[in-house]
Structure 1
């Protein structure tokens, strides 16, 4: 695949999101021994309280990610969920561009702070998030009690609103 990355704002119930979700769940089974059990629905990552993006190369879905407002802090905080880039196209800038698109989309909706949780074995993802300005925060969410979770947060720049 050599084409330009195209990011499309689609629903988590889109067939391409379902295909990518199957891929990421297989990846989690290989990496962790089981799938991600933290529930996510299309409604959670739908406007006006969320968003979902699928990345395409040459018309093929290769990446996805979503965000939704934290129900405990609906005015200012959102959580990133189901961010995934196919292994064959990692380390090409797709993850960085996808993350920036999610942050920008959330900022335009009034979000001021992003949170995310990932696993310690996902060192490439952790490095991407840290390079993008994410810092350690207190564990939260479905996996908060897991020794293997890494929770990160970032205050969004006002420039993202433009």
Structure 2
């Protein structure tokens, strides 16, 4: 399923879709660069169907058929979705695409009946921390403290 978002197409996909490969490859590179080889475990922690209906989704923003950003959510509990794998292609950063991904994920999660979005990021991802704060997420940690350990949890009411 896909829909248009301005010049971008929003497409729901599965992890097996070849369009997802650039996202997964770039995320693995980013995570490994920042956190070391344990990042591989994080990327394979959840079964693929966790990011598929009826409990989750994986979406990509496509520009002229090319993935430029994406993200997913999965069931955290009966009323909460957990956002995962938020990504913007390195060549397309600073365009507000991550904000669009988050808005799409929140809209979709609410349509599934979720009332809250939960997510975590690591202490070596200050741009992600700033994104979540700027898009209305509440930090479940003291933002005045330097983020030296993780994960850093956030939540947002979708109600």
Normalising by structure 2, what TM-score?
0.84
2:150 aligns with: 148
What whole-Å deviation, never above 9, does each CA across 1:66-111 have from its counterpart, x for those lacking one?
Answer: 11111xx22x111011111112211201100110000000000100
Unpaired stretches in structure 2, ≥5 consecutive residues: 1-5, 142-147
Give, in angstroms, the shift of residue 36 of structure 1. 4.6
Q: Does the C-alpha gap of structure 1 residues 114 and 123 become closer, same or farther in structure 2, counting only changes over 3 Å?
A: same
- 2:15 is the alignment partner of 1:15: no
- 2:129 is the alignment partner of 1:126: yes
Q: Does the C-alpha gap of structure 1 residues 4 and 97 become closer, same or farther in structure 2, counting only changes over 3 Å?
A: same
1:48 to 26, 45, 54: 54
Normalising by structure 1, what TM-score?
0.82
Please give the secondary structure, in 1, of the residue aligned with 2:87: strand
Aligned counterparts of 1:37 and 1:152: Cα–Cα separation in 2:
22
- 4+ residue stretches of structure 1 with deviation over 3 A? none
2:144 aligns with: none
What whole-Å deviation, never above 9, does each CA across 1:20-74 have from its counterpart, x for those lacking one?
Answer: 101110111112222252312320010011111011122211212111111xx22
Unpaired stretches in structure 1, ≥5 consecutive residues: 139-145, 158-162
1:5/1:94 contact within 8 Å kept: no
Aligned length: 145
1:160 aligns with: none
